[in-house]
Amino acid sequence: MAAKAVAGAVRTTLGPKGMDKMLVDTLGDVVITNDGVTILKEMDIEHPAAKMMVEIAKTQDEEVGDGTTTAVVLAGELLKQAEDLLEQEIHPTVIAAGYRVAAEKAVELLKDVAVKVSANDEDLLNKIAVTAMTGKGTGSARAELASLTVQAVKSIVDEDGSVDIDNITVEKKVGGGITDSQLVHGMVIDKERLHPNMPKKVKEARIALLNAPIEIEKTEVDAKIEITSPDQLQAFLDKEESMLRDMVKTIVDSGANVVFCQKGIDDLAQHFLAKAGIYTIRRIKKSDMEKLARATGARIVTSIHELTTADLGKAGLVEEKKIAGDDMTFVTQCENPKSVSIILRGGTEHVVDELNRAMEDALRVVGVVVEDGLLVAGGGAPEVELALRLRQYAATVGGREQLAIEAFAEAMEVIPKTLAENAGLDQIDSLVSLRSKHEQGMKTAGLDMDSGEPVDMLDLGVVEPLRVKTQAINSAAESAVMILRIDDVIASRSGGEGGMPPGGMPGGMPGGMGEDFD
């Protein structure tokens, strides 16, 4: 019941016509979203079985980035179907075995209906990004954002064809409209230069990446320096200054005119760097340093004295720009940037946050398709096709497992049903017309949300990565089986070393009884 309730909570958010949820926490902070995993993460869930449904969404999100609501709704429907079978006195292990067989068969069948896609087919990749963003607050700007997504993913594909979406930085800035969002072929760092005397713009930048402080190190052990006369103090201060001067000289001698430092920089060193005309930023995140290294070809150096010209990276332009009232550093015109940035703009903070979630989903699914090169139609088409084929397969299996496989097929149809329901269409009419098209051999017939008619989804451009569907089916089936196999929920003692229960003796026996056992 608890698991079904969680699935019911996110069911209304599925599809392009799905509604949003407003989540309000105890502090009064508001999140408005229809992203399944965000809703489930933010929900205050106590029941242990319901928490397992949240895990499904998290796994789906980590693996493929999209299809979280699909996976949870599917798991909820599998449990609902299992409930009917349990009432017919079919044993849970039989249902579990049938579900496992059905899930394996479903993944196999999905691979049959998958369509190959090339990483260079920008048109199809754009459609995948648009499908992932649909219904997520992107409105009419979907096409522009999808184009940004595809360009960003194509820029960071490695030689072996793998895609690490972490190499795309997404910066959110409130202000302007959604269409003001832009892709920067290079890095955008949300920091300003350290000193007003440093140049605002550096052309033909030679970039040093330092993972070392440009300041005098404190000793590891407690040390005491005794100074007995003023000239000793002056000599001490002069030495500190000359050490900092030497550090800056090493940087200047290497030929660097831009320095990104992960650690702190002394005030005096800032002055010397400004005098040398070196654009400097400090306390940059480790992840940003790694992206800068990819984008510029620089090596991260952990000791300033080891810095050489060979460690420097290159960029055509490093400049400070003001965006929405904040100064940011742009590192652009890199030769072959294997790390890029997207700046998202929107009218309010809630819009930008939801836009960011839509963009993350789109980036992940485009990355998955570029890696796998396989996609399936959307709009409930693969689910109706699977339901049809699984029913045919169930007839060949026989025994009680046949009922479980048929129940699995029935559960698959919850997706087109929910899509129809959320679009204000009649569930039964929509499903019957879809089934008839699939029986006639139209494998990619899905539901057109506007007309309510079955339409070829590939022609309509509603496509999703194969991995989104296979992952959703696998995780939904596994979770449903796991919940099915639980026959009792028992409260366990926390921490292992439990004390005596109230009353002293186990079972609440009065402690005084111990005297009789002496």
Q: Is 361 a catalytic residue?
A: yes
Give the tokens for residue 288.
């940003």
Give the tokens for residue 236.
């001490």
Place of tokens 């929920």: 489
Question: How, if at all, do strands 340-346 and 182-184 pair?
Answer: antiparallel
Q: Is 33 a catalytic residue?
A: no
Length of the chain: 518
Q: Is 180 a catalytic residue?
A: no
Buried b (16+ CB within 10 A) or exposed e, 41-61: beeebeeebbebbbebbebbb
Catalytic residue among 20, 61, 288, 361: 361
The DSSP string of 432-458 is HHHHHHHHTT-TTEEE-TTT-SEEEHH
Place of tokens 């949820």: 21
Catalytic residue among 38, 68, 134, 470: 68
Give the tokens for residue 505.
């003796």
Backbone φ, ψ for residue 473 (5° rounding): -65, -45
Q: 441's torsion region: left (phi>0), alpha (psi -120 to 50) or beta?
A: left
d(CA 318, CA 330): 6
Catalytic residue among 33, 59, 69, 470: 69
- Residue 136's Cβ-side half-sphere holds a number of Cα atoms within 13 Å equal to 28
The DSSP string of 456-488 is EHHHHT-EEEHHHHHHHHHHHHHHHHHHHT---
The DSSP string of 9-67 is HHHTT-STTPPPEEEE-TT--EEEE--HHHHHHHS----HHHHHHHHHHHHHHHHTSS-
Instruction: Provide the 3-class DSSP secondary structure of residue 173.
Output: strand
Backbone φ, ψ for residue 297 (5° rounding): 80, 10
The DSSP string of 276-337 is TT-EEE-S--HHHHHHHHHHH---EES-GGG--GGG-EEEEEEEEEEETTEEEEEEE--SS-
Catalytic residue among 20, 35, 66, 266: 35
Instruction: Give the catalytic positions in this structure.
Output: 35, 68-69, 361
